[in-house]
Amino acid sequence: MEGVSEFFKYFWEIREMVWTLTVRHSWIALAGVVIGTLTAVPIGIAISRKPQASAVVIDLAGMLYTIPSLALLGFLLPFMGLGWMPTITALVIYSWLPVLRNTCTGILGVDPAAKEAAKGMGSTSFQLLMNVELPLALPVIMAAIRTVAVLTVGITVMGALVGARGLGELIFQGISMMNNKTILAGTIPVSIMALTFDQLLGLVERKLKVSTSSA
Amino acid sequence: MTREISVELQKVSKLYGQDKVVDEVSFTVEKGEIFVLIGPSGCGKTTTLKMINQLIPHTSGNILVNGIDVAELDAVELRRSIGYVIQYIGLLPHLTIQENIAFVLKLTKQSKKMQKEKAEELIETVGLPTNYLTRYPRELSGGQQQRVGVARALAANPDILLMDEPFGAVDPLTREQLQNELLRLQETIRKTIVFVTHDIQEAFKVGSRIGILKQGKLVCLGTPMEIVKTDDEFVKSFIGQGALFEVLDTIEVSRVLEKEVPLVSENEKVDRTADILSGWDNVFVVNSDSKCLGYIPLNTLEPDGSFSKGQIISLPASSTPDISVKFAVEKMLWEGRTWLPIVDEKDGFKGIVLFRSCADLLAGDRG
């Protein structure tokens, strides 16, 4: 029990630094998720129209997905230098596979009868996408975005190694000093942030569902 | 009176690669009729239907909708002007019933107020309560969902409705109900309907004319009566025997009514030598208002042809001349008789329908 109170004491002492790093960590992760989603959803929509292209694109995204994060950051470093750039770029790359694959799967999984009826009533392809395909694929797409969000918060930790300045700084500092308190002071906010992101996106999903169904 | 043509196909073909799915099909659909396309699966009936609203583009030939070649029309605009009902209904599960019905109005950016009013009007047209408008499709039964499907197709007030096996996914009882409702609805809305089905009984029931497709070719085209009298072996085997009964449903009983019936006034004697008696077992007794009091079997008459009031047997329940032959046959079978008296609204005696003449109706021209 002494260890616990000692940890809190330590945490209180460095609270300002933890807060600063948490804010920075969260916006880096958020930028990764937002940019990743904004790029992957259109690609997912595009490949859902072209089955031949979809296999190639998904394989490519899968290949990128398998690169270890440390290696990817190291690879991006010479092009982008130190700072948040290589980290956010890596996050975007990691978000591609889940989001574009689920977008494609989600759209292909929409009830053909619903699509046929909507088309038969005179929907343009854009109206079909906005009124039928995306709303009905939404749960599948959101599942991927939520997965990506949790993943992203974790990978942002690695960004500390290329100077992105997130909570990873505390964790790596703790590791090099073999100081568990410092490691914990970085890890706990990371976990809380991941869970919060997931929950917030759950709220967004519910909100979107309500708004599409009353539009 | 010239008949207006709503839809016309001129030698329309559809090829998938080398495969001729629809092969030079030509027909015209008149304004206000229900034209049925029928055939075994893979015969091209759905493809033919979908070429009318260009969900499937045709390879060759001309398709005219209200006199205009669809090739000259914008496909989206064309579809918005034609109602479309499909077998799997295809209601949008994330939208309320109101939003589903008003979907095409939303596509054409009509006001919310108009969408709501139209949905309220149409849900009543198809016989559902207005409080269903706020529900979601999954909360409705299959039959109710298809009623919404029909309401949705009517939203833009189209002249033409395309129906692709609209009642194929519901149970037989509901199907019959929906068919009856469609016919009742058609009395008031008078749309031009092109209706695809694989159910021959349904075709005879709803169709004013029927086109039978076989391997992409239109092999037979005509009214139900013309169809059953065809000599084509494929058509004969395809329609089968059950359909004949449905054809009888399309014919008014007045067509087989025997008007030359042996009658006698209540105060007269029967002339046993009269020619009219030949072939009859009974003689019918009428009063001065031409109301039928009943009948007397010939073998119960006195030798001189006279009879007493007590000998008159009252008529079985009679029917009016506007019932169908099918209904008359069913009634005779039900009552175990071979004849049915027909009276007009004022109880005036019109004649007798004989079971034999109902049977002759179809058998006559079928070798």
The minimum CA-CA distance between B238 and chain A, rounded to whole Å, is 28
Weakest mean pLDDT among A140-149, A189-198, B236-245: B236-245
Q: Domains, chain A, ranges and CATH?
A: 28-214 (1.10.3720.10)
Say if B84 is an interface residue toward chain A (CB within 8 Å).
yes
User: Do residues B303 and B322 touch, judged by C-beta distance below 8 A?
Assistant: no
Subunit contact A114:B96, Cβ cutoff 8 A: no
The minimum CA-CA distance between B75 and chain A, rounded to whole Å, is 8
For the stretch B76-116, pLDDT in tens is: 999 999 999 988 888 999 999 999 999 999 998 988 898 99
Q: Which residues of A touch B57 (CB under 8 A)?
A: none
Mean pLDDT over B171-191 rounds to: 88
Whether residue A88 is predicted with pLDDT greater than 80 in this model: the reply is yes
Weakest mean pLDDT among A123-127, B216-220, B286-290: B286-290
Whether residue A81 is predicted with pLDDT greater than 80 in this model: the reply is yes
Nearest CA to B44 among B178, B193, B212?
B212
Torsion of CA B118, B120, B123, B129, to 10 degrees: 180
Subunit contact B55:A132, Cβ cutoff 8 A: no
Please indicate whether residue B27 or residue B339 has the higher confidence score (pLDDT).
B27
Give pLDDT, residue B242.
65
Q: Domains, chain B, ranges and CATH?
A: 5-251 (3.40.50.300), 254-363 (3.10.580.10)
Tell which of A116, A121, A141 to mutate to test the B interface (max B CBs under 10 Å): A121
Subunit contact A123:B55, Cβ cutoff 8 A: no
Give pLDDT, residue B290.
77
Choose the closest CB to A121 out of B96, B99, B103: B103
Mean pLDDT over B322-346 rounds to: 83
Mean pLDDT over B138-159 rounds to: 90
Whether residue B365 is predicted with pLDDT greater than 70 in this model: the reply is no
Cβ neighbours, 10 Å, residue A201: 19
In this structure, which amino acid lies at residue B252?
E
Closest residue in chain A to residue B74, using alpha carbons only: A122
Give pLDDT, residue B366.
43
Q: Which residues of B touch A113 (CB under 8 A)?
A: 86-90
Weakest mean pLDDT among B35-39, B299-303, B338-342: B299-303
CA atoms within 13 A on the CB side of B356: 4
Say if A134 is an interface residue toward chain B (CB within 8 Å).
no
User: Do residues B156 and B105 touch, judged by C-beta distance below 8 A?
Assistant: yes
Choose the closest CB to A118 out of B87, B92, B149: B92
How would residue B125 be classed by pLDDT, with cut points 50, 70 and 90?
A: confident
Cβ neighbours, 10 Å, residue B46: 22
State the Cα–Cα distance between residues A160 and A148, nearest whole angstrom.
19
State the Cα–Cα distance between residues B203 and B216, nearest whole angstrom.
18
Q: Which residues of B touch A120 (CB under 8 A)?
A: 53, 55, 79, 84, 86, 162
Say if B92 is an interface residue toward chain A (CB within 8 Å).
yes
Chain A, residues 94-133, CB within 8 A of chain B, namely 111-124, 127, 131-132
The minimum CA-CA distance between B201 and chain A, rounded to whole Å, is 25
Say if B229 is an interface residue toward chain A (CB within 8 Å).
no
**Distance of CA A206 to CAs A57, A203, B294, Å?**
30, 5, 75
Tell which of B47, B95, B136 to mutate to test the A interface (max A CBs under 10 Å): B95
Give pLDDT, residue A212.
57
Subunit contact A117:B91, Cβ cutoff 8 A: yes
Q: Which ipTM was obtained for this model?
A: 0.77
Give pLDDT, residue A155.
93
Whether residue B272 is predicted with pLDDT greater than 80 in this model: the reply is no
Choose the closest CB to B90 out of A113, A131, A212: A113
The minimum CA-CA distance between B76 and chain A, rounded to whole Å, is 5
Mean pLDDT over B107-136 rounds to: 90
Subunit contact B84:A212, Cβ cutoff 8 A: no
Subunit contact B78:A122, Cβ cutoff 8 A: yes
Helix (H), strand (E), coil (C) string for chain B: CCCCEEEEEEEEEEEECCEEEEEEEEEEEECCCEEEEECCCCCCHHHHHHHHCCCCCCCEEEEEECCEEHHHCCHHHHHHCEEEEECCCCCCCCCCHHHHHCHHHHHCCCCHHHHHHHHHHHHHHCCCCHHHHHCCHHHCCHHHHHHHHHHHHHCCCCCEEEEECCCCCCCHHHHHHHHHHHHHHHHHHCCEEEEEECCHHHHHHHCCEEEEEECCEEEEEECHHHHHCCCCHHHHHHHCCHHHHHHHCCCEHHHHEECCCCEEECCCCCCCCCHHHCCCCEEEEECCCCEEEEEEEHHHCCCCCCCCHHHCECCCCCECCCCEHHHHHHHHHHHCCCEEEEECCCCEEEEEEEHHHHHHHHHCCCC
Q: What is the pTM of this model?
A: 0.76
Say if B207 is an interface residue toward chain A (CB within 8 Å).
no
Subunit contact B92:A113, Cβ cutoff 8 A: no
